[in-house]
Chains A and B, each alone.
Chain A
Amino acid sequence: MNKLRVERVSKMFGGLQALKNVSLETGGEILGLIGPNGAGKTTLFNVISGFLPPTEGAVYYNGHSLHRFRPHQIVRLGIARTFQIVKPFGDLSVLDNVLTGCGMPVYPSWRAFFRRYHTPLTEKAADEILELTDLSAWRDVPASSLPIGLQRRLEIARALATRPDLLLLDEPAAGLTSHEAEALAQLVRRLHQQGKSIIVIEHNMAFAMGLCERIVVLAQGEIIAVGPPEEIQNNEQVINVYLGRSK
């Protein structure tokens, strides 16, 4: 169940090779995706979630190719994502932001025209997610008025509202205080316990090491190392690439 397979994916932007023959398989774990700036981490997320077509290779989810699926269709398959640069619906309240995710089952059909989105049932579902992500106190304020840390949490809440099996988190801890980051790590662990697979892009090494069961290191579009955190920490090549240390 919820097995993601990335098979020999390459992505070219003009002359720039953002991803080079990337293959990985994941499911049922918290997978960390780390690497220096420009390593292709977000590009890989964009390919998986359908925002960018791969130049070569393919992505399979539970055995089915995601080729030609549009982003909104990939969400329906159970893969939700957040954005590195947060994209809250600023004018909408925090509750309504989460409701946008809850509405997925009605969007594709004509029922969307005849069903109200504020009902006791939908609000209950959204409130549960706000509870889980500790956002209930901000329920009715416009999303744009939240500080960045809360906006990051709202991104996760909105993605969760789509009821994903696989959650792609793009630098969820960026700009958070250490206290906030710890709360976030706990949330991610809890989601994992509920049976969700999670891929986290992270810059903060300590955060990634503490959270992930397995780590993939990307550098210049290539996977240079895969393994459990302890192993990655001591990998010569990773240290070289990450800290820019010369031999």
Chain B
Amino acid sequence: MSGYLMSVAVFVGIWVTLALSLNILTGYAGQVSLGHAAFFGIGAYTSAVLAVRYGQPFGVDFLAAILVTGLAGTVLGLPSLRVRHDFLVLATMGVNFVVVAVFKYVDFFGGAMGLVNIPAPEFFGTTFRGGVPYLLLVWGYVVVVWLVSWYISKTWVGLAFHTIRLDEDAAAAVGVSSARFKIYAFGISAALAGGAGSLYAHFIGSVFPDTFVFVESIAILSMIVFGGVGTLRGPIIGAIILKAAPELLRFVQDYRFTIYGALLVLMMLFQPMGLIGEGSWLWRNLTALFRRPAASQQPQQEVAQ
């Protein structure tokens, strides 16, 4: 694999984890957030600051990024408890703007020039920048995030997320505190995005405020909507397609957000459940194809009768 394809694969992996982590907040718990890039940024800056200013090794940076971002998500999620729906979207947007402004105007974070010379991860005296090892590291994290998502969907906390997404009053009537579980969702979602931020910072070697702006949040939200909100497969496919396409098809790069926007409108109109979400055209046909190839003619006969 060429170095270029390798780095595309690393980026795609990082954005898959971002999409999966937002999916816990938006797909499971139903809290639409347009501020996810802020948590990506907090993770990246935590790692960068620890590495550049305090010379901490990658392992420490990575774990700290997850912890600090999870904590930030919990704290920044608190004001969101008082707002629902459209106003929540606005509040999360606001969080994104504030976080980017802090990166930009506080000297400690390097200002607009960002933080540079973040060392590559080093294990047993070998550096990990680029190449297959880093690719494995990133996709290993993808597997971890997927497993966390999967496990949550199987446990009571996942069921509680479903209840607050579907009806907060009914959720309260079965004993679910929507405030508590929203905070859990914000915390988990942010923590996982923080890990992605750390992997990003150590791969690129530098962080700039402009990477974590509001439009990036839209891009991440587009990925899960495009793939299929709330499923374990949709965000992966959404992130792979929407992240890899602009990287691989040069002419798309300039029109990236135009295409994201157009895709979102089209998906909302024709496939609101996403490309391979539950009940979408593609998913229905795929499952029919693989599950019972012989029985696929049966429904047609019924229609004919």
Chain A residues within CB distance 8 Å of chain B: 49, 51, 70-73, 75-76, 80-83, 87-92, 96, 99-101, 103-104, 106-108, 111-118, 158-159, 161-162
Contact = CB atoms under 8 A, between A and B. Distances in A.
B295 interface: no
Nearest to A82: B173
B172 interface: yes
Nearest to B167: A87
A153 B180 CA distance: 29
Contacts of B174: 75, 100-101, 103-104, 158, 161-162
24 contacts: A51-B169, A71-B169, A71-B172, A71-B173, A72-B175, A72-B177, A82-B173, A87-B170, A87-B173, A91-B162, A100-B159, A100-B163, A103-B160, A103-B174, A104-B174, A104-B175, A112-B156, A113-B157, A115-B155, A116-B156, A117-B154, A118-B154, A158-B174, A162-B175
Contacts of A108: 175, 177, 180
A98 to B, nearest CB: 9
B156 A90 contact: no
B159 to A, nearest CB: 5
Given A70-B177, A81-B173, A108-B177, A116 B166 contact: no
A71 to B, nearest CB: 4
A195 B181 CA distance: 33
B173 A75 contact: yes
Contacts of A91: 162, 166
B170 A116 contact: no
B175 A116 contact: no
Interface of B: 152, 154-160, 162-163, 166-167, 169-178, 180-181
Contacts of A96: 159, 162
Contacts of B152: 113
A91 B273 CA distance: 12
Nearest to B177: A72
Contacts of B157: 112-113
B170 A107 contact: no
B176 A107 contact: yes
Given A87-B167, A91-B162, A107 B173 contact: no
A76 B176 CA distance: 10
A117 B175 contact: no
Considering residues B162, B175, B176, which has the most beta carbons from chain A within 10 angstroms of its beta carbon? B175
Given A80-B173, A104-B174, A115-B156, 6 more contacts: A73-B177, A101-B175, A103-B159, A106-B156, A114-B155, A162-B174
A51 B172 contact: yes
Contacts of A107: 156, 160, 175-177, 181
Contacts of B172: 51, 70-72, 75
B169 A116 contact: no
Nearest to A158: B174
Contacts of B158: 117
Nearest to B160: A107
B167 A89 contact: yes
A116 B153 CA distance: 9
Contacts of A81: 173
Contacts of B173: 49, 71, 75, 80-83, 87, 158-159
A83 B169 contact: yes
A113 B172 CA distance: 19
B244 to A, nearest CB: 30
Contacts of B166: 89-92
Contacts of A76: 175
A160 B292 CA distance: 39
Considering residues A71, A83, A91, A96, which has the most beta carbons from chain B within 10 angstroms of its beta carbon? A71
